Amino acid sequence: MIHNKKLRIGILGGGQLGAMLIRSAIDYGFEISVLDKDVNAPAARYTNSFTLGDPENYDDVVAFGAQCDIVTIEKEAVSTKALKYLQDKGVQIHPSPELLATIQDKQEQKEFLKLHNIPVVPYVPVASKDELYGHTSRLPACLKMRRNGYDGKGVMMLHSEKDIENAFDGPAILEQKVKIKQEISVIVARGEDGAIEYYEPTLMVFDPEKHLLDFQICPASLDFEITNQAYAIAIKIATKMSLVGIMAIEMFITDDNKLLVNEIAPRPHNSGHHTIEACATSQYEQLIRAITGIPLGDTRLNCKAGLVNLIETGKRLDLSAIMNRPAIHLHYYGKQNSKPGRKIGHITITEPNIEGVIAQIAAIKNILN
């Protein structure tokens, strides 16, 4: 239903995802508040209700959330204990504290998926760096921190035993290296009433060194069977987790054409940025619809789309040659003091065919390099 009263929506985190989420929420007339520990966070300039505080701090989240009707997130690193307290006091929390607690820990996330017969990359848990020496027979393998990894941080390849010396020390999972043909993402939304909508799979290509998304293409142009399997996995995860909101499910397609779930993000996601220009309903508007009880929107593509991330290099970024090109949409995040290797913006490409998207991506990457 469309709410008559002006709902107060709180967002934990003030990064670029929060900034893009606010712009959709404003169209519905909702009051938006943001909690972030950086007064210059990208989302801060889009709201007159910004609170300086730490989304991982119990007291900060409780004080912030007490002023809201609904609290949602733009990153996973938040205090689930505070969110549970707020939920018990009558504040709507989407996604739920229980879902977030499962997602925050990569081992718990994988155990949940395995419990529900959802295929994942084979792995073993490790408590410390020293424990890795007992798993040298599994190398090469991918080491991932159990908690607080993002944008390629907390992920490293261990090619041989000598790499263990430089491995991070702490609770982690060691994933089997699988032969991957493609990496895709399916974004799925689920409303309070259980209604589900999903977006076409997006092909993701990552920088092998930074483990950051380099560029993406939508649709991923997969065969019919794989596409339907990906949709079925996304729907099953959203349903089993009782999602209210939006979720990106990253999957590997192996050389033998099997799907394996890599990771889940219960929030707007880089792989869905293109939906702003390319879909009838963006992932951001869809999240607002889902958490406020408004019927979910149409997810069909209006065109073919691509995306190139803009990464901080420490050098001046001249985009004039790119902006002279047709069908280009710039999103510059306005981050201050961004570190090299971090995302500072993205460029979305909209074209009538995939060939045009691929040509544009190649040209843009050539200019950037």
> Would you kindly state where each structural domain of the chain is located, as residue ranges?
8-93, 122-176, 180-368
62 is in an annotated binding site: no
The chain-wide mean pLDDT, for the chain, equals 95
Report pLDDT for 235.
99
Residue 2: predicted pLDDT: 53
Helix (H, G, I), strand (E, B) or coil at 2: coil
Known binding residue 263? Answer is: yes
pLDDT tens sequence across 34-58: 999 999 999 999 999 999 999 999 9
> 122-176 has which CATH code?
3.30.1490.20
Q: What's the rounded mean pLDDT across residues 250-279?
A: 97
The least confident of 46-50, 132-136, 266-270, 334-338 is: 334-338
Q: What is the CATH number of domain 180-368?
A: 3.30.470.20
pLDDT of residue 258: 97
302 is in an annotated binding site: no
122-156: pLDDT as tens digits: 999 999 999 999 999 999 999 999 998 766 678 99
Task: Tell whether residue 277 is among the known ligand binding residues.
Answer: no
**98 labelled ligand-binding:** no
**Which pLDDT value is given to residue 67?**
97
Q: Cα separation of 351 and 362, whole Å?
A: 14
Task: Tell me the three state secondary structure of residue 254.
Answer: strand
Beta strands in the chain (DSSP E): 8-12, 31-36, 50-52, 70-73, 92-93, 123-126, 141-145, 155-158, 172-176, 180-190, 196-198, 202-206, 213-218, 245-254, 259-265, 304-311, 328-332, 343-351
Nearest to 124, CA basis, from 137, 116, 160: 137
Q: Is the pTM of this model over 0.85?
A: yes
Q: What pLDDT is stored for residue 208 in this prediction?
A: 77
> Does 336 count as an annotated binding residue?
no
Has 144 been labeled as part of a binding site? yes
> What is the rounded CA–CA span in Å between residue 17 and residue 21?
6
Q: What does the pLDDT read at residue 151?
A: 62
262 annotated ligand binder: yes
Q: What is the CATH number of domain 8-93?
A: 3.40.50.20
Task: Give percent of the chain with pLDDT exceeding 70.
Answer: 98
DSSP, residue by residue, 338-367: PPTTSEEEEEEEEESSHHHHHHHHHHHHHH
Please check if 176 is assigned to a binding site: yes
